[in-house]
């Protein structure tokens, strides 16, 4: 199937992926991805487990090295052999499923340490930036707390604040709510909504269809290491054109019905 891509109309996309392949041994996880994300665009990437979503995200900042293809961020080729990858990564914020906070450091110290080590900011400036970003995620009152005293949702919001404190031009989110209890998801998504409204360029791997519907400019559906559909949320989620997309959404949005369908399929195989 031919991959699709869309552009926001800007002359230089903030993220540009060309013919991206990634293999782990004999397992071809990405099989020729072409994708553009314009400045200020929010793109949600959806698809079943094993479809290559997280691998694509990790290739954007070279946490995974592509087998073939090119990745550009802000016009700089991330995949060029001579690129200063540390300089590129300073422009990219990454939020993972797990929060990856230092348990022995306070919330403020978790935010100031990377600023001081990577950006070489002074102690006072780093603390000021930390305070500003804790306010952005609604956690100013937790500045002196330690991660163990925070809920999972609060820890994830601290992780977002830590990424924002580095002044990124692009934010990548890899299933940021998947490790959270359902009642804690809303606060994290609210922070992400605010970032989108502020004009942050965001690439979000998620199963949160309500967020994708409301916030995304585009939704990309991946399966089998390729992009199956790429378009507006109303198109991809509301009226998908491919059977693979429809089947995935039916299972995601109505798991009970998916179980019934699976039972019927198994029964038919036994006839």
Q: Which residue, 99, 114, 163, is CA-closest to 134? A: 163
Span 27-36, pLDDT tens digits: 999 999 999 9
Question: What are the residue ranges spanned by the domains of the chain?
Answer: 103-168
Confidence of residue 76 (pLDDT cuts 50, 70, 90): very high
**Confidence (pLDDT) at 251:** 85
Q: What is the DSSP string of 168-205?
A: -SEEEEESTTTTS-GGGHHHHHHHHHHHHHTT-EEEEE
For tokens 């330690």, name the residue: 146
**Confidence (pLDDT) at 6:** 44
**Confidence (pLDDT) at 269:** 41
Q: What's the rounded mean pLDDT across residues 203-209?
A: 94
Q: What's the rounded mean pLDDT across residues 211-224?
A: 96
Q: What's the rounded mean pLDDT across residues 131-158?
A: 96
The model's pTM is 0.88
Contact at 8 Å (CB) between 191 and 31?
no
Q: For residue 255, is pLDDT > 70? A: no
């Amino acid at each position: 199937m031919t991959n699709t891509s869309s552009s926001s109309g800007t002359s230089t996309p903030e993220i540009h992926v060309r013919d991206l392949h990634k293999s782990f041994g004999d397992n071809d996880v990405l099989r020729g991805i072409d994708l553009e994300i314009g400045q200020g665009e929010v793109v949600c990437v959806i698809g079943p487990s094993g479809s290559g979503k997280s691998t694509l995200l990790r290739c954007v900042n070279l946490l995974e090295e592509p087998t073939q293809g090119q990745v550009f961020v802000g016009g700089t080729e991330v995949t060029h052999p001579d690129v200063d990858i540390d300089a590129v990564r300073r422009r990219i914020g990454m939020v993972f499923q797990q929060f990856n906070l230092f348990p022995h450091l306070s919330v403020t110290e978790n935010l100031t340490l990377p600023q001081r080590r990577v950006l070489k900011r002074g102690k006072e400036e780093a603390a000021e930036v930390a305070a500003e970003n804790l306010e952005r995620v609604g956690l100013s009152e937790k500045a002196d707390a330690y991660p163990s005293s925070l809920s999972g949702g609060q820890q994830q919001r601290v992780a977002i604040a830590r990424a924002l404190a580095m002044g990124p031009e692009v934010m990548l989110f890899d299933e940021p709510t998947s490790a959270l209890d359902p009642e804690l998801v809303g606060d994290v998504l609210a922070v992400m909504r605010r970032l989108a409204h502020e004009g942050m360029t965001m690439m979000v791997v998620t199963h949160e269809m309500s967020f994708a519907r409301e916030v995304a400019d585009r939704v990309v559906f991946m399966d089998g290491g390729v992009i199956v559909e790429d378009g507006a949320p109303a198109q991809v989620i509301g009226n998908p054109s491919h059977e693979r997309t429809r089947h995935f959404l039916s299972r995601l949005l109505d798991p009970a019905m998916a179980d019934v369908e699976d039972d019927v399929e198994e029964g038919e195989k036994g006839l």
